[in-house]
A and B are shown apart, each in its own frame.
Chain A
Amino acid sequence: MSDAAAAPTAVRPIWADLVGQEPTVTTLSQAVADPAAMTHAWLFTGPPGSGRSTAARAFAAALLCPEQGCGQCRECRTALEGTHADVEVVATEGLSIKVDDVRDLVQLAAMRPSVGRWRIIIIEDADRLSAYSEAPANALLKALEEPVPRTVWMLCAPSVEDVMITIRSRSRHVRLRTPSVEAVAGLLERRDGVEPAMARYAARAAQSHIGMARRLARDEDARIRRHDTITRAARIRDVGDAIDAAADWHKIATEESGASAAERNASELRRLLETLGADPAARTQPPHVRSQINQLEKEQKSRATRLARDMIDRALVDLFSVYRDALVLRSRGRSPLINEDSRAVVEQVAQSLSDERLLLAMESIGTARERIAHNAAPLLALEAMALDLRLPR
């Protein structure tokens, strides 16, 4: 029964994509193998990009697979994709999960699984359950409190603090750690066929964020954007530069999200009109169609806000790494630079700013991230930050 723990070599194939998380794999494999180690609610936490939802999906597959996660059978494949009849994956693209959606989930949870051994509900952004009000989280509480046999909840969140305490106390906590650069690079090579040098660069630049690393490795535009973002930092001298730099960062981050969203919004609208049998060419739609369109536009707007915010946040994480690297250089630390490829920028920043100023800059970037996450005007927050990043003349 504790085979997996005793012999880590016997790790089932389903866990292959969950790199650098050996303790978690052990815990989860045990739960799959031993009914006594299983429970009805799991809380996966870990830094963004560490593979929270990958872990939850792999766990779901292992639970449903007759061979505890062979990675080959239908159960495994559909569970990983989130298309298995008994696996419900909830991932919001908006700013929060709505209470009505949670109520639907609670109803679903009360039903027996249709084909497999378990009914599994994965909530990928459990932190968004209580983002604006606690109502959605409270709606979930009852279901967690009175577990239905053979239903498993898997909640994913960045940290336990992001989840309401009453939910936290009713679920078993699994903590993922930041995988090593080597592990992430290895995954990119093995799974996505990325060249070794590129894989290492991407894993390091993305600071082991698996999804980001994959994007950096495969999308040249993403690499250019990242490069533009960090080189811009070394050119801020006076107040005017700071405002310009903030405008550039804002533009870099929102440009892409705008272009891809416009296309998708238009196709969604087309599909909606088709479904409703409405005439897309009509200048004014009848009221019932209009209300549906309004609903769609509201969702699209919320999604756009979220996307733009996420993009800016990523840019700020990249920017942060420059000052972190500069601090490493100044203190002659031995830890490797994240921005080894842009060493010139890092060196310039390290020569221009004192340790105190570097810490102040990092503090300001953190403040800007926090403000933007709390709905502050992104451009204004970026400008205030850029003013603290000025290099002396």
Chain B
Amino acid sequence: MSGVPPLVLIAGPEQVLADRALAQTVAALREGTPDLEVIRLQAGAYAPGQLAIEASPSLFGGEKVIVLADLDEATDEAQLDTLDYLAAPQPDVTLIGIHRGGQKAKKVLDTFKKSGARVIDAPAIKSDRDKVDFAMNEFRAGRRKATREAVQALVDAVGSDVSELASACQQLIADTQGTIDESVVARYHGGKVEATGFKVADAALAGRTSDALALLRHAVAVGVDPVPIVANLAAQVRQLIRVGAAGRGGRSADLARELGMAPWQVDKARRTLGGWDGESLGRVHRALAAADFEIKGGNREGGGRDPHFVLERTLLRVCGEHANNR
């Protein structure tokens, strides 16, 4: 037989992984039973009794799979019915529960585990390192070699969305031969840098003038709105000022709690503070406030300036205030 137990739980927020786990499980079941019936239920929009109706044996026999999606949004009825089912599972039925995380329907989750369900994790892929690991795994699963640099370049290019990253990996596996190295990635995704407001702000605050301007052009070209770019810079400058004002001493975790920031933000701000003093940050912040106003059209009599011009001028101003460029 397929080796899939009658209860399967897919738990975790990462949609790509969850979809994939579901597809693999159903495929494994299908191997043994080609005429397998697959029934999808949404626990969030659940009619009482639905599960019992679908799970009851049909006149013609045959195996079936019931996919109970959105367990994390399950209605009370859905939770009760699922618990009832778990207490008395039907033969010939495989129940797959999908839970994206959170506290809702926790009891159902635990009961699944206690009843000996196969638990497949779908952990969130957030940090760059997770993404690199994910892409590495993709290539390994496709029986292909990829260099570390190539994977990093790929993550830089399309990493903001995991499903996009997954399909980019599949594309490279299907379309290319041999080892996947940087030149292959450059051929497919060359010149595309995912420039976000964050990256522009990072470059500008590190005093890297040409990087900041190039990233800005990229960001504008892919349609990032000028307003959030300034907002982002302002938010970072605000953090720099506040962390700077708090002084060098003290553990970053304590300071983070005091300022309402995340510890890594404090650490990052402390690193960035190297090229700055309070006065220059103050001047930068004032320039940003003026830029915010000008980008939004300014006063009508004065006439708004071209937002991109304002942005570039502001970035030059920010970089000019950085100690390395003075």
A interface with B by C-beta (< 8 Å): 238-244, 283-284, 370-371, 374-377, 380-381, 383-384, 387-388
Contacts of B281 in A (CB 8 A): 239
The residue on B at minimum CB distance from A384 is: B289
Give residues of chain B (59-95) contacting chain A, Cβ–Cβ below 8 Å.
Answer: 73, 75
* B299–A243 CB distance below 8 A: no
Is A374's CB under 8 angstroms from B288's CB? Answer: no
A238 to B246 alpha-carbon distance, docked (Å): 12
Q: Is the CB of B75 within 8 A of A387?
A: no
Give the shortest distance, in Å, between B96 (CB) and chain A (any CB): 23
| Chain A residues whose C-beta falls within 8 Å of the C-beta of B296 in the assembled complex | 374-376
Residues on B with beta carbons closer than 8 Å to the beta carbon of A241: 245
B293 and A284 contact, CB distance less than 8 A: no
> Chain B: residues with CB nearer than 8 A to chain A?
44-45, 73, 75, 231, 234, 238, 241-242, 244-246, 278-279, 281-282, 285-286, 288-290, 292-293, 296-299
Residues on A with beta carbons closer than 8 Å to the beta carbon of B231: 377, 380
User: For A384, what are the chain B residues with a Cβ–Cβ distance below 8 Å?
Assistant: 285-286, 288-290
Q: Which residues of A contact B299 (CB under 8 A)?
A: 370, 374
Cβ-defined contact, A380 with B288, below 8 A? yes
A384 CA / B297 CA spacing, docked (Å)? 18
Q: A239-B241, A374-B298, A384-B290 are in contact. List 14 more A-B contacts (CB 8 A).
A: A239-B282, A240-B241, A242-B282, A283-B45, A370-B299, A375-B296, A376-B289, A376-B292, A380-B285, A381-B292, A383-B234, A383-B238, A383-B285, A383-B289
Known contacts A238-B278, A380-B288, A387-B282: A283-B293 contact under CB 8 Å = no
Measured between beta carbons, the chain B residues less than 8 angstroms from A375 are 296-297
A387 & B292 in contact (Cβ 8 Å cutoff): no
Is the pair B278, A380 in contact by a Cβ cutoff of 8 Å? Answer: no
Q: Which residues does chain B contribute within 8 Å of A376, judged by CB atoms?
A: 289, 292-293, 296
What are 8 A-to-B residue pairs whose CB atoms are below 8 Å?
A: A242-B282, A244-B245, A371-B292, A371-B293, A374-B299, A376-B293, A381-B292, A387-B286
Q: State the CA gap A188–B79 with chains docked (Å).
A: 61
Task: Give the residue of B45, B238, B290, B297 whose beta carbon is less than 8 angstroms from that of A243.
Answer: B238
A165 CB to closest chain B CB (Å) equals 14
Which chain A residue lies CB-closest to B242? A243
Residue of A nearest to B75 (CB): A283
In angstroms, how far is the closest chain B Cβ from the Cβ of A153? 25
- Min CB distance B180 to A, Å, is 44
CB <8 Å contact, B289 and A380? yes
CB-nearest residue of chain B to A372: B293
- A residues near B234, Cβ cutoff 8 Å: 377, 380, 383
Residues of A within 8 A of B44 (CB): 283
Q: In the bound complex, what is the Cα–Cα distance between A376 and B289 (angstroms)?
A: 8
CB distance from A13 to the nearest CB of B (A): 43
Which residue of A241, A243, A283, A374 has the most chain B CB atoms within 10 A of its CB atom? A243
The residue of chain B having its C-beta at the shortest distance from the C-beta of A284 within the complex is B45
Interface centre among B246, B278, B285, B299 (most CB of A within 10 A): B285
In the bound complex, CA of A376 to CA of B298 (Å): 9
**CB atoms of B282 and A377 under 8 A apart:** no
Contact yes or no, B278 A240, CB < 8 A: yes
A371 contacts which chain B residues (CB < 8 A)? 289, 292-293
Closest 5 CB pairs of A and B: A240-B245, A384-B289, A239-B278, A239-B282, A371-B293
Nearest-CB distance from B39 to chain A (Å)?
Answer: 21
Q: How far is the CB of A373 from chain B (nearest CB, A)?
A: 9
Closest Cβ of chain B to A249, distance in Å, is 14
Contact present for B292 and A239 (CB under 8 Å): no
B190 to chain A, nearest CB (A): 36
| Complex CA distance for A370 and B298, rounded to whole angstroms | 9
Interfacial chain A residues near B246, Cβ < 8 Å = 240
Chain A residues near B278 (CB-CB < 8 A)? 238-240
For the complex, what is the distance from the CA of A376 to the CA of B234, rounded to whole Å? 12
Cβ contacts under 8 Å, B245 to chain A: 238-241, 243-244
Chain A contacts of B288 at CB under 8 A? 380, 384
Query: CA–CA, A388 to B290, complex, Å?
Result: 13
Cα distance A106–B289 when bound, in Å? Answer: 41
CA distance A377 to B295 in the complex (A): 11
Expressed in whole angstroms, the minimum distance between the Cβ of A380 and any Cβ of chain B is 5
- Which residues of B have CB within 8 Å of A284? 45
List chain B residues, Cβ under 8 A from A383: 234, 238, 285, 289
Question: A371-B293, A381-B292, A383-B238 in contact; A239/B279 too (CB < 8 A)?
Answer: yes
Inter-chain CA distance A283–B75, complex, in Å, is 9
A381 to B281, CA, bound (A): 15
Q: Give the shortest distance, in Å, between B30 (CB) and chain A (any CB).
A: 33
Q: Say whether B242 contacts A240, CB under 8 Å.
A: yes
In angstroms, Cα B230 to Cα A380, docked, is: 10
CB of A374 within 8 A of CB of B244, answer: no
The residues of A that contact B297 with a CB separation of less than 8 Å are 374-375
The distance in angstroms between the C-alpha atoms of A284 and B293, with both chains bound, is: 39
Contacts of B242 in A (CB 8 A): 240, 243-244
